[in-house]
Structure 1
Amino acid sequence: MELKGEEFNEFSSVEQLRIFKQSELLLLAKHYYLDEVKSVIKKKEIFKVVLEHLVDEEIFEDLVLSLLKSEKTEEFELRKLELEFQKAIKEMEIQKELKLKEIELQSRKLDTPRDQKDFDVAKNIRLVPPFSEKDVVQTPGRRKQNRLCHMNMIKKYYDRSKSVPPSHCYCLCY
């Protein structure tokens, strides 16, 4: 389709201008001697430059530019909604993963045998013998450690009064 500038002046709507292909918009830009329009520019940008020029020439009214700006805001809102949608999808995936991990953790808790009871130190503290300085055995040699004779550790608390002196003990604790 050959396009001449005079023919375009006969067109009076922006919708007809939108229908034009990129090559036709380039021909129109050449007709109006618009130097900033080149063939490597996108169709939207060419359309915008041509439309601004036609408004300056008073072929179209200024309201047309406001329509162009509203398109940008619509595109922005659409992009914003897309990003919010993607964010919501990611949040749902994260929630799903958390629920799966919680279920897996609960199943592990149920799988472990609970036959043996946990050892409670506070309840069994009375089984630990009290410490007495008399029961400390000094070991000769390089390592000097203070420790109880193993014979005295085995005895119950009330039997410790009759403790075995370290010299009579045949173990390696002295």
Structure 2
Amino acid sequence: MVYLLKGKFTNINANWPGSSHDSHIFRTSQVCTYMEQNGGWANGVLLGDSGYPCRPFLMTPYQNPVIDHQKKYNRCHCSTRSVIERTFGRLKRRFHILHSEIRMTPSKACKIIIACAILHNICILLNEPDIEDDGLVIDNDGDLGDRFFGDQDGRGVRDHISSTFFNR
């Protein structure tokens, strides 16, 4: 799980194996706990792909947008969320060990991933050039995963955002 600020990693959790679902990692994170207690779209929101539940503080794309402003919302959501995909690409190009399975103990692999993220941030601070792009393909598929309903559901917030800002 990763959060970015201008291409730098601001929060990273590398304590789960690669087969763990992103939404489970988020659901058990300190960031999720904080957002549940203090979040709300007025304080800012997080963007997730369709594998995450739509929550008041975690906006996901519409599954089947039918209204024009829902389609506009999805386009803006996708282009904004692609920042993280590009940042992962930059990180992997900079540190080749992250291209495939790290064949070390899980605790050592976690340390390597976090060290790479810290070094990536240092490279940005020092204005180090990026490694050449080798035709990276961005996977925006996103597993549908579990859905939340009721009090935790953020679809009303998403509807408000899309109709207010994209219904023009």
The structure that is helix-richer by fraction is 1
TM-score, normalised via structure 2 length: 0.20
TM-score, normalised via structure 1 length: 0.19
The one of the two structures with greater contact order (alpha-carbon pairs below 8 A, sep at least 6) is 2
The structure that is strand-richer by fraction is 2
